Amino acid sequence: MLERGFRWLCASAVWLPIALLAVLLTDVVVEGVGRLDWAFITSFPSRKPEQAGVWPALVGSVYLVSLTALIALPIGVGAAIYLEEYGERRLLGSIIEVNIANLAGVPSVIYGLLGLQLFARVLGMGRSLIAGALTMALLVSPIVIMAAREALRSVPQSVRETGVALGATRWQVIRQVVLPMALPGILTGAILAVARALGEAAPLLVLGALAFVSFVPDGLDAPFTVLPIQIFNWVSRPDQAFASNAAAAIVVLLLVLLVLNSLAIVLRDWSSRRRGDS
Amino acid sequence: MIDTDEAAKISVRGLSAWYRDNQVLRAIDMDISQHGVTAIIGPSGCGKSTFIRCINRLHEMVPGARMDGRIAVDGQDVHGAATDPVLLRRRIGMVFQKPNPFPTMSIRDNVLAGLRLTGDRPSPARANEIVERALRQAALWDEVRGRLDTRGSGLSGGQQQRLCIARALAVEPEIVLMDEPCSALDPVATAKIEDLLHELRERYTLVIVTHNMQQAARVSQQTAFFLAGELIEYADTDDIFTAPVDKRTEDYITGKFG
């Protein structure tokens, strides 16, 4: 009896969120699908809701997320390599570990404030794409570091010893043997980081990304906007037609997320096939 | 070099080793001659694996591990200021307990791993030559010659272990250390590796750690018996197994403990 009850409880823990998510998705798709056409994707924002589109926000999001990944992945993986492969002071290592876990839980607005002060003001980058990407990179690097550490930890110690016993240096072993074996796990972290960066609006709002942009960012120092901010902006307008625009933009955002994630999953599967454990 | 035996390939004096506060080797003195197979036997936890891991300085990679004493290879102090552990390890191959070909690499790449890892990029012709030579030496060539580009982890356990031996031999070491190389293998695969040891002992200084006394008797010329971190007895294999001097050696080889 208890067994069945528990089973039922766990099953509802699976199905309840899925049902809620399905309701949410249906609601958004139903509302937005009427607005979703090629013109909506390729148009610039407008005061007239039926002419408005997401092009600058879409391009801004893709640029921002790519830049964020370019910055956060090398730093995150490098930090993980240092902590896992070279970090010998165990106490310091565990203090750092706790702090990184805490950083992953810091509200994203705080990162926005940090980015505003450090990148936009002190370093004089202004409200630019690069300032946004650097802020986002700070935000997601704990995720990358934790995933990469986990992945490196899953590579058996005997593999490292074998490499070293063959006369290779630590770095040669890490680069040629350990990293390829850890790649699937690192890519999983990259997926999570990209998804997080794509969905964040708050830190960029604080940083001052523009809500109404009638141009595509043309350089690292250009002002920009992203899909979540565009959505936020449309949702806050009284006109019902803008709400439909917001719903359609959410669908676009979800599609971008889907594409980026599938790309990372394909990469991960490809690399784990190479690893030979598929 | 004052008190070591110049004729020995590996000369160990006063070797002690610790994992944190736990002393696993106690003042070992031992000379390993250049030719033939030296077996190291003893019950689990007697320090025999740590002993060979000190020779190629793998021991010091373990956090909290340290050692004291002197080990010389060809008279050169392994811990001397002039000794680069990386260069030292190129002269000393190692085969581990569990067969562990690199899972991301093909059979060919596994054999070449030692060269490539260290930055050597052999020409295709030379690479083929090295692969064939090493696999022949490891008695694996005939079984894998048609599938060199398939993954090494797809081989049987015994084949994987011979691949690991080929990988160690490809860099042309002088010494090969083997840490219970057959303990994860079935008797047929074990017999193949033992045959291989007979071939290899002409060219390499072989040191094999084993918990299998019959194996030590079959493959080695010298045997060292370790117990609780101490070298109890070290002599010709024939003498150890027929006329052990120490009572503890006799008890161990007759199966009274272990």
pLDDT at A278: 33
The answer to whether residue B8 scores a pLDDT higher than 90 is no
The answer to whether residue B3 scores a pLDDT higher than 60 is no
Measure in Å the smallest separation between the Cα of A6 and chain B Cα atoms. 41
pLDDT at A275: 55
CB pair distance less than 8 Å for B117 and A181: no
Q: Where are the domains of chain B?
A: 10-102+174-253
What digits encode the pLDDT tens for the residues A117-134?
Answer: 888 888 988 888 899 999
Task: Identify the CA nearest to A42 among candidates A32, A29, A56, A30.
Answer: A56
What ipTM goes with this model? 0.86
Measure in Å the smallest separation between the Cα of A71 and chain B Cα atoms. 27
Query: What type of residue is A56?
Result: P
Q: Any residues with CB less than 8 A from the CB of A26 and at least 6 apart, and which? A: none
Task: Return the SS3 of B4.
Answer: coil
pLDDT at A78: 94
- CA closest to A175 among chain B residues: B117
Instruction: Give the best residue of B104, B110, B116 to mutate against chain A (max A CB count within 10 A).
Output: B104
Kind of pairing between the strands at B22-32 and B222-227: unpaired
Question: Considering only CB atoms, which chain A residues are within 8 Å of B153?
Answer: 276
CA distance A195 to A263: 12
By Cβ distance, the residue of A90, A169, A276 closest to B103 is A276
pLDDT at B6: 53
Instruction: Give the best residue of A86, A90, A158, A162 to mutate against chain B (max B CB count within 10 A).
Output: A162
CB pair distance less than 8 Å for B117 and A90: no
SS (H, E, C) B144-199: HHHHCCCEHHHCCHHHHHHHHHHHHHHCCCCEEEEECCCCCCCHHHHHHHHHHHHH
Measure in Å the smallest separation between the Cα of A142 and chain B Cα atoms. 25
**pLDDT < 50 stretches in chain A:** 276-278
- CA closest to A170 among chain B residues: B86
Check if the beta carbon of residue B223 is closer than 8 Å to that of residue B38: yes
User: How open is the CA angle A204-A209-A211, to the nearest 5 degrees?
Assistant: 115
Question: Is A219 or B7 the better-scoring residue by pLDDT?
Answer: A219
The answer to whether residue B2 scores a pLDDT higher than 80 is no
pLDDT at B1: 40
Lowest mean pLDDT among A19-23, A92-96, B145-149, B227-231: A92-96
Kind of pairing between the strands at B92-95 and B205-209: unpaired
Share of chain A above pLDDT 70, in %: 96
CA distance A10 to A126: 49
CA distance A21 to A154: 33
Question: Considering only CB atoms, which chain A residues are within 8 Å of B58?
Answer: 161, 164-165
Instruction: Give the best residue of B102, B130, B150, B174 to mutate against chain A (max A CB count within 10 A).
Output: B102
User: How open is the CA angle A104-A107-A113, to the nearest 5 degrees?
Assistant: 110
User: How open is the CA angle B96-B100-B101, to the nearest 5 degrees?
Assistant: 125
What domains can you pick out in chain A, each with its CATH number?
54-275 (1.10.3720.10)
Q: Any residues with CB less than 8 A from the CB of A55 and at least 6 apart, and which? A: A41, A42, A43, A44, A216
CB pair distance less than 8 Å for B96 and A162: yes
CA distance B193 to B191: 5
What digits encode the pLDDT tens for the residues A125-163?
Answer: 888 889 999 999 999 999 999 999 999 999 998 899 999
CB pair distance less than 8 Å for A166 and B116: no
By Cβ distance, the residue of A165, A173, A274 closest to B94 is A165
pLDDT at A253: 92
Check if the beta carbon of residue B121 is closer than 8 Å to that of residue B112: no
Question: Considering only CB atoms, which chain B residues are within 8 Å of A163?
Answer: 102, 113, 117
CB pair distance less than 8 Å for B118 and A88: no
pTM of the model: 0.81
Which CATH number does B10-102+174-253 carry?
3.40.50.300
| Residue B88 per-residue DSSP state | H
CA distance B97 to B170: 19
pLDDT at A277: 43
CB pair distance less than 8 Å for B117 and A180: no
The answer to whether residue B48 scores a pLDDT higher than 90 is yes
By Cβ distance, the residue of B63, B118, B154 closest to A167 is B118
